[in-house]
Amino acid sequence: MAEYEAVIGLEVHVQVKTQSKMFCSCPNRFGEEPNTMVCPVCMGYPGVLPTPNKEAIRKTIVAGLMCSCTIPHYSKFDRKSYFYPDMPKNYQISQYDLPFCIDGKIHISGEGFSGAPLADKDIGLTRIHLEEDVAKLNHLGKSSGVDYNRAGVPLMECVSEPDMRSADEAYAYLTALKQIMQYADISDCDMEKGQLRCDVNISLRPVGREKFGTKIEIKNLNSFRAVHRAICHEMERQAYLLDDGVVLRQETRGWNDDRGETYLMRVKEDAHDYRYFPEPDLMPVTFTDAEIEAVRKQLPELPVQMRERFVRDYGLTEYDADVITHDKAVAAYFNQTADTAKNPKLAANWIISELLRELSDGGVSISECVITPVQLATLVNLIEDGTISGKIAKTVFAKMFESGKDPAKIVEEEGLVQVTDESAIETFVDQAIAANQPQVQQYKDGNEKVLQFFVGQVMKLSRGKANPPMVIKLLKSKLD
């Protein structure tokens, strides 16, 4: 397939986290009994009027600003007409030519789904518009049920430029987009709850040619992994057809996850089939510069900025910073730990290698973690100032994880303070030497590895509390 290059653009729908729906006061809540979160507005009864949700609009502007978009001063809602049971009004209130956000970009870096390193790159964001979500159809054998709880939930559509060139880049773009939405509390982006849904547009062109090929749209992708697989599959399928001289037509295809292949759904409709026109029941929405700047002032730090700060101010490696910022809650936890920890880099190590592992083993999220950031910082400080050894710290950590007790208290109660008294350590060293004469001979014969054996013996005798550098120093001076 060396002779083709993929051109990929993504259309990502993100449900906005709000109290109520987009145009009525029904709760925006997932997982309730079907058709219990409904009212005449979201059921499309005749004669009702929509009232826009201010918070949903504000969060859309936040999303746009987080993605470096321009926020036009004048936007409006439009009707997108179509006939399908998921939309009782037979039109969806959406935005057509004047969306809330235009001309943005999302930075990708790090690695793709396959773990391959990616070159840093900005992916253009054409627009973000706000619309209402539609009802969910539940297919039950020969009949179908319609659940209107989802109808009217605020939904952003983020449309990218056709800037991605591989499945890995698409994966990285989605990861970055999701992180931004979560960091800014715009959406939890839980794909299992349908809070983030992605359509892929993909075409191939011979390497070196500028003109794009015919695009195919793939729908029903319910995980980032499925997006990656679908792109890989579609690249092969299209290359095979193009090699055969087939002229492709614009199609919408579905993704069958079990078979690992796409299938034809329909030949694509044109935009004018939707008969877009301005929504007469809603006023245009206008923003002053001052209003936009007020939102900009309250923007949270972007994940990419936070990564840079952790590397710069706390001495984390790029890799550590990447792991820590992957989840906003973990990043916040580290931020608080680093505030009190004398050695933030060591705190990061403990979060990555101990805390996150324990949490995932126990199936617990970091928000439910019994160890507070201040407690973890205290533990790290106990190591840093030599009160306990790194090894003892693991024991203390395990007890903290069980009981939520303060590390200093555990150390005190269990008598775990590191022994740094030279004469006390000397006693252990003498005991160890006296009890292991054959090993002393081995050491004298030049086997230096035996030193580690003695360190182990002394640690055992001191129940792990002897200060390791002092143990080594004393052992050497005695044995030599």
Partner interacting with residue 201 (select from Zn ion, ligand ADP, none; CB below 5-8 Å by kind)? ligand ADP
Phi-psi region of 185 (alpha: psi -120 to 50; beta: other; left: phi over 0): left
Please choose, out of 4-12, 22-30, 80-88, 323-331, the segment that lies near ligand ADP by the rule CB under 6 A: 4-12
64 vs 152, beta carbon nearer Zn ion: 152
| Pick from 194, 276, 263, 278: nearest CA to 230 | 263
| Pick from 471, 474, 446: nearest CA to 461 | 471
User: Residue 212 Cβ, how far from ligand ADP at the closest point, in Å?
Assistant: 3
Strand 196-206: give its sheet, edge to edge.
Answer: 101-108, 121-132, 154-160, 4-15, 196-206, 216-221, 251-256, 261-267
Binding to ligand ADP by residue 99, rule CB under 6 A?
A: no
C-alpha distance from residue 257 to each of 166, 402, 453, 466 (Å)? 19, 40, 55, 57
Q: Which of 7, 34, 35, 39 binds Zn ion (CB under 5 A)?
A: 39
| DSSP element (H, E) containing 267 | strand 261-267
Binding to ligand ADP by residue 201, rule CB under 6 A?
A: yes
Binding to Zn ion by residue 42, rule CB under 5 A?
A: yes
Q: Which of 18, 75, 160, 467 binds ligand ADP (CB under 6 A)?
A: 160
Tokens of 84: 């399908």
Tally of CB atoms within 10 A around 402: 10
7 vs 374, beta carbon nearer ligand ADP: 7
| Pick from 351, 163, 6: nearest CA to 359 | 351
Q: Which of 21, 59, 79, 215 binds ligand ADP (CB under 6 A)?
A: 215
C-alpha distance from residue 78 to each of 102, 164, 197, 279, 281 (Å)? 17, 29, 22, 4, 10
Question: How far is the C-alpha of 128 from the C-alpha of 102, rounded, in Å?
Answer: 6
Binding to Zn ion by residue 24, rule CB under 5 A?
A: yes
Partner interacting with residue 26 (select from Zn ion, ligand ADP, none; CB below 5-8 Å by kind)? Zn ion
| Spatial CB neighbours of 23, under 8 Å, sequence gap ≥ 6 | 41, 42, 50, 51, 52, 53, 93, 132, 152
Helices assigned H by DSSP within 213-370 = 224-243, 289-297, 303-314, 318-325, 328-340, 344-350, 356-362
Contact (CB, 8 A) for 372 and 334: no
Question: How far is the C-alpha of 465 from the C-alpha of 112, rounded, in Å?
Answer: 44
209 vs 342, beta carbon nearer ligand ADP: 209
125 vs 382, beta carbon nearer ligand ADP: 125
Looking up tokens 């900005």 gives 122
Binding to ligand ADP by residue 50, rule CB under 6 A?
A: no
Q: What mask, x for binding ligand ADP by CB under 6 A, covers residues 332 to 371?
A: ----------------------------------------
Tokens of 125: 């964001």
Binding to ligand ADP by residue 162, rule CB under 6 A?
A: yes
188 vs 217, beta carbon nearer ligand ADP: 217
Number of residues lying near ligand ADP (CB under 6 A): 16
Helices assigned H by DSSP within 97-223 = 167-183
Tally of CB atoms within 10 A around 4: 19
Binding to ligand ADP by residue 103, rule CB under 6 A?
A: no
6 vs 330, beta carbon nearer ligand ADP: 6
53 vs 95, beta carbon nearer Zn ion: 53
Question: How far is the C-alpha of 67 from the C-alpha of 49, rounded, in Å?
Answer: 32
Q: Which of 5, 11, 55, 86 binds ligand ADP (CB under 6 A)?
A: 11
User: Residue 42 Cβ, how far from Zn ion at the closest point, in Å?
Assistant: 3
Q: Which of 5, 55, 111, 161 binds ligand ADP (CB under 6 A)?
A: 161
User: Residue 75 Cβ, how far from ligand ADP at the closest point, in Å?
Assistant: 18
Partner interacting with residue 215 (select from Zn ion, ligand ADP, none; CB below 5-8 Å by kind)? ligand ADP
Binding to ligand ADP by residue 212, rule CB under 6 A?
A: yes
Contact (CB, 8 A) for 16 and 155: yes
Please choose, out of 42-50, 159-167, 295-303, 420-428, the segment that lies near Zn ion by the rule CB under 5 A: 42-50
User: Residue 250 Cβ, how far from ligand ADP at the closest point, in Å?
Assistant: 7
Partner interacting with residue 99 (select from Zn ion, ligand ADP, none; CB below 5-8 Å by kind)? none
37 vs 172, beta carbon nearer ligand ADP: 172
Contacts to ligand ADP by CB under 6 A: 7-11, 159-162, 201-203, 212-213, 215, 271
Contacts to Zn ion by CB under 5 A: 24, 26, 39, 41-42
